[in-house]
Structure 1
Amino acid sequence: MSELVLHGYWRSGTSYRTRIALEIKGLAYRQAPVELRQGEQKSPEHLARNPQGLVPALETPDGVLTQSSAIIEWLDERYPDPPLLLGDAARRAAIRAMAMVVACDVHPLGNLRVLKYLRNDLQHEQEEIDRWSRHWISEGFAALEVLIGRHGGRFACGDTLTAADCHLVPQFYSAQRVKLDCSPWPKLVRAVENALAEPPVAAAHPDRQPDAD
C-alpha cells in the first residue's frame, strides 16, 4: 500500500477529526505539517493539493483527498474494519447527522479564515470574536445533547466510536479554547470524556502532534 500522508495543522479541528479516524482504523500515516499561521496553506505547493487552500489534504493510493468528512467516509470504505459508519441505515443516518451538525453548522463559523475576517476586516475585538464562537458552538451543542440522548451510549452514537465522535471531540476542544461552559450538556460532555479516554483518540490530540507548540 502506498503511504498515507496527512497534510494538516496540529490545532485544526478538521485535521484533528481526520487523525482520530486514522488512529481508530489503526492505519500508519506520515504527517506533513502545514503552518496556517504563516500562510503555508496558500502556497502554490499546497494549493496544488487542495485548491481551497485549506487543511487537511490526505495523500492516498487513490490520489489526494480533501474535505475531512469525505476523507473519513473514504477511510471507512477503503479500510472498513473497524467501521466508523455502522449499523442499519437509520443508525448510519444518525451518525452522519451528528457529524454534520459539527461539520456543516458549527465548525465553519469558527474556521480560522472566518475569525481572521472578523478581526482584520470587520475590526472586532478578541472578546467579541470569542463570544461569536461560543454562541455558534452552543447552538450546535444544544442540538447534539438531544441527539446523544436519543442515540448515545458510552459515546455519541452507541457504545462504539463512530464518525460522530471524530467530529464531536475536536469541536469540544475548540469550545474549551474559547472558554465555553459545557455543563449545560452533560450527555455530550460524558461522551467526549469517554472518547478521550480511548487510546486512538488520545493519540490524535493536538498537544501530541509533532508540530504542536
Structure 2
Amino acid sequence: MITFEQQYKQILTPLCFHCPEPYFAPAHNRIPHVGCCSYSPTFTLFELYQAIKEDKLESFKPYLQYDFIIDDFEFKVPAIVDESFFTLDVSGLSESELEEQKLPYSICQFFKKNQGCSLHPALKNATCRSFICPTAEETLQNDQQQQVEAWVKSIQYEARAFNKKHKPILSERNLTLAENLVEIISYFNTIAFSEQKKGEF
C-alpha cells in the first residue's frame, strides 16, 4: 500500500520498514538494512526555506558550512560509511561509480533505528519525499502507478519551481551559501514572514 501524505507532500509505504528492494541490501549483516536511507541527501534552497519557515533551522546548522556546500545553492550531508568499505580496491572508479559502490556500506546521518528518517517531514528533500523503489512500485496496479507518478511530479515540481525563482535573485545579489549564509537566511525570513501575513487574511 502506498499513500500520499498531504500536509508535507510525501509518498509513504509500510514496505519501507522491511525494505524488499535487492538494490539497497547492505553489503553484509553487520550493517543495518536501511533501504534507500543509505544515500547521501542533497538539500536545496527549498529545504533551507522550509527549515526557516518551520523554525527548525537547527537541524541543518551543523551542515551549513564550507565542507558540505557542493555548489552555491546546495549542500550535501554525506552518509556514514562502514569501515569495511575502505578495505575495497576502488581505484579507477569514477565519482558516480564510487558513490554507488558505497551504498551497501552506508547509512544516512538522519536515519534512526526503529524510526527511519529523523528529520521533520517539511525538511526532507524532494527525492526523499517522492522516491519509491521498483520493488514497491511493482506491487501496484497500472492506475495506482499512474497516481504515484503524478504525486512524484507534483513533489519535484514544487521544489524545482521554488529554486528556479530564487536562485537568480540570490545570484544577482552575489549571495551564496558558502559566503553569505546569514544574508540568505535573512532573505528567506522576510519571505516566510510575508507568507505568514498573507495567511492571516
TM-score (norm 1): 0.30
Highest RCO, 1 vs 2 (Cα 8 Å, sep ≥ 6): 2
Please give the TM-score of this superposition, normalised by the length of structure 2. 0.31
- Structure (1/2) with the larger helix percentage: 1
